[in-house]
């Protein structure tokens, strides 16, 4: 949609799988911007980066998925 219609899309989700389809993910923790990661083009790698960052931010994998 972004490329086809030249619009910005903001999606708020707690689902790392859905987030892995985006170009970038911005993480908010306790009401503050905590981190940002960009998608290099490899969705599986991007998903793993999202999961690793979520774990580092203070959660176990089974709490996140």
**Tens of pLDDT, residues 42-54:** 999 999 999 999 9
Confidence of residue 60 (pLDDT cuts 50, 70, 90): low
pLDDT score, position 16: 94
**Tens of pLDDT, residues 13-59:** 999 999 999 999 999 988 999 999 999 999 999 999 999 999 998 86
User: Among the residues of 6-64, which ranges form H helices?
Assistant: 16-19, 43-56, 61-64
CA–CA dist 35, 52 (Å, integer): 12
Residues near 21 by beta carbon (within 8 Å), at least 6 away in sequence:
43
For the chain, what are the domain ranges?
2-57
């Amino acid at each position: 949609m972004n490329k086809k219609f030249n619009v910005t899309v903001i999606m708020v989700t707690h689902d790392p799988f859905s987030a892995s389809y985006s170009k970038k993910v911005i993480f908010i923790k306790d009401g503050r911007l905590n981190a940002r990661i960009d998608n290099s083009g490899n969705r599986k790698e991007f998903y793993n980066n999202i999961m690793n960052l979520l774990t580092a931010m203070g959660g176990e994998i089974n709490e996140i998925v």
